[in-house]
Structure 1
Amino acid sequence: MKLFYCDVPAGNFGDDLNTYLWPRLLPDAFEGAVRFTPLEAAAVDHEDSRDTLFVGIGTLIHDKVPAVGRKVVFGSGCDGSRLPDINGQWDIQCVRGPLTADALGLDSTLAIADPAILVRLLPPAAPEPIHRVSFMPHWCQAQSGAWQKICRMVGIHFIDPRWPPFQVLEAISSTGTLISEALHGAIVADALRVPWIAVSSKHHIQDFKWRDWCASIGQAYEPVAIPAIWTPASGLRSRAVMAAKMAYGASVLTRLDHSSRLSNDVVIARLTDRLVEVLEAFANPHRFAVNLAPQY
């Protein structure tokens, strides 16, 4: 079986969790991976019909998935568009939320939660919070370096979604409240019982997938607007626009302290148990070992 996932060259926490989490939960189940990048427009060029693709963490149910071969979907979501032809080659174990299930015409019982919540099965990455508030942007917004500077200005810990997964897990675990534009920053924070606040610059942010996950945990998606900040062109006007955006971004982050969300303890425990049940039911007939106490 091969992992199917999005491979952002600079690194992206949610996508990179696939190569970090699944080999720990399903040791010896995978023989390589099939990757695609965000900029690929066509379906992934993979034509070995003997392969089984494991479609896990991310918005991966789309028309880029190879047409040939078996696809095992475990908790993935769609974005409401570019939907593939769900035929007999698709083995859908569960999906991220009710919006994905509805878009694909699936039974509502298949809508459980994003499988990234299974980080709850890992040992604690940090013993206790050491940062009162942290901010995690979308990986595209992290590239300019502006948000790192803003966080230093206002005394907020910065978490870069391009860091290796363990480093991000450790950083989220050690924060009191996470302000996140990155979907899987919020998902993992909620799973680890760290209150979170959704923000959005609108660029590259897909409301559908956020609403899909939020519906699965009984929360509303009501993001606070933040400015989109890219690397500026040279010139006095560009520098002035950048300075104004950074000042606005700083003012937004410092006002968000008391508006956090967190799903109910009973809800997150129930969703975790349901995902574990589905994972075990899938693994046992195929003689895949399931490790529910994996080590880092």
Structure 2
Amino acid sequence: MFFCRIPDGNFGDDLNPYLWPRLLPDAFDGAVEYRPKDNHAIDLADPQEELFVGIGTLIRRELPATAIKHVFGSGFGYGALPDDGNWHYHCVRGPLTAAKLGLDPAKGITDPAVLIRLLPRPASEKRHRVSFIPHWEMAISGDWQAVCRLAGIHYIDPRRSPAEVMADIAATETLITEALHGAIVADALRVPWTPVSSKHTILDFKWHDWCGSVGLTYAPTAVPTFWRPRPHIGRLINGAKQLQAAATLAYLIKSGRPMLSRDGVLENRIERLLETLDAFCRPRGFRLNTGSRGDAEARRETADPRTVAGE
């Protein structure tokens, strides 16, 4: 299993070791972690290792050319396109990635993080009317917890464990999110969501890529970028930006139009992902664990009735 590891934690990337061993319990001999800011080569015990490239923006030239890369739902967005012939694209995140790679558009199914919908989840009461989850870098650099206190909403830290973040999302009535996988998981759990962007670290391409895969349009509301000030430096400016950010979130609570993909679209994408995953597993003798899946009808019964974007 190949995935990105952010030392402080990042919900989207950390979904890989949470999700895949549960769905493919006997498929992996281990994991290869990519740390994008370490600036060193990715070490493989076997230069012709077979890598499973799943959740994340991982289609990039840094992966070892000699390794066999099986892409299941990952996206493109950073750096140059891969130029070796050892990439096997079973499916990718969305139509923009498929177009960049010159693939059949049918391979742009959706981000595989939606498959968390297949895992058993305890019943969760809605404890939070509105929650906010920032991009992981903004969680490090800005005091968004203070902003949420000012706005009177619940703060979700994307650096916490996937189980904790998902439990918080499931317990939320409406999510405001700067984190792409906050939106994807909320959509999978049928929690209406509203996108925001500070533009500092947000890659619009991957948002448009995923939204295009489920029939939605990405049009985020701008929020200010701010940093934790050093003593006696920048406190006044950051304080003003925190107030501005809190006012923006408060405005979205009153006037925002939360989105959800349609139930039928989500179910279709899940079925297509499972068919593709089964086609990958069957000739290799891997077991696809769908015992916890439940049937589609049961999932539809738990779907939020607001199934059209903006309703």
Do structure 1's residue 249 and structure 2's residue 223 form an aligned pair?
Answer: no
1-structure distance, mates of 2:286, 2:114: 21
- Correspondence 1:180-259 to 2 at 5 A: 180-235=177-232, 238-257=234-253, 258-259=256-257
TM-aligned CA deviation for residue 145 of structure 1:
5.3
* Further displaced range: 56-65 or 250-259: 250-259
Do structure 1's residue 83 and structure 2's residue 81 form an aligned pair?
Answer: yes
Per the alignment, residue 277 of structure 2 pairs with 279
Per the alignment, residue 152 of structure 1 pairs with 149
2-structure distance, mates of 1:47, 1:37: 17
Do structure 1's residue 133 and structure 2's residue 118 form an aligned pair?
Answer: no
Paired residues of 1:126 and 1:170 also in contact (CA < 8 A): no
* Further displaced range: 111-120 or 135-144: 135-144
2-structure distance, mates of 1:77, 1:92: 10
Paired residues of 1:120 and 1:192 also in contact (CA < 8 A): yes
TM-aligned CA deviation for residue 49 of structure 1:
3.0
Residue-by-residue CA offset, 1:35-68 (whole Å, 9 max, x unaligned): 1113144552336234210000000000111111
1-structure distance, mates of 2:3, 2:93: 15
Q: Counterpart amino acid of 1:241? A: I
Cα distance 1:140–1:80, how it changes in 2: closer, same or farther (>3 A)? closer
1-structure distance, mates of 2:188, 2:84: 30
2-structure distance, mates of 1:47, 1:85: 22
Percent of residue pairs bearing the same amino acid type = 54
TM-aligned CA deviation for residue 138 of structure 1:
0.5
SS in 2 for 1:35: strand
2-structure distance, mates of 1:83, 1:40: 20
- Correspondence 1:1-296 to 2 at 5 A: 3-41=1-39, 43-46=41-44, 48-79=46-77, 81-87=79-85, 89-144=86-141, 146-235=143-232, 238-257=234-253, 258-294=256-292
Q: Unpaired segments of 5 or more residues in structure 2?
A: 294-311
Paired residues of 1:97 and 1:213 also in contact (CA < 8 A): yes
Paired residues of 2:12 and 2:56 also in contact (CA < 8 A): yes
SS in 2 for 1:76: coil
Residue-by-residue CA offset, 1:128-183 (whole Å, 9 max, x unaligned): 32111000000111114511011122220111100001001101111011100000
Cα distance 1:66–1:294, how it changes in 2: closer, same or farther (>3 A)? farther
* Further displaced range: 188-197 or 141-150: 141-150
Paired residues of 1:97 and 1:114 also in contact (CA < 8 A): yes
Q: Counterpart amino acid of 1:20? A: Y
Q: Unpaired segments of 5 or more residues in structure 1?
A: none
Q: How many residues align?
A: 291
* Further displaced range: 134-143 or 118-127: 118-127
Which structure 1 residue ranges, 4+ long, deviate > 3 Å from structure 2?
40-43
Residue-by-residue CA offset, 1:251-289 (whole Å, 9 max, x unaligned): 000111232111011000100010011111111111111
Q: Counterpart amino acid of 1:240? A: L
2-structure distance, mates of 1:221, 1:187: 12
TM-score by length of 1: 0.94
Per the alignment, residue 299 of structure 2 pairs with none
1-structure distance, mates of 2:28, 2:227: 38
Q: Counterpart amino acid of 2:243? A: A
Report the RMSD for the aligned CA atoms in angstroms. 1.5
Q: Counterpart amino acid of 2:201? A: H
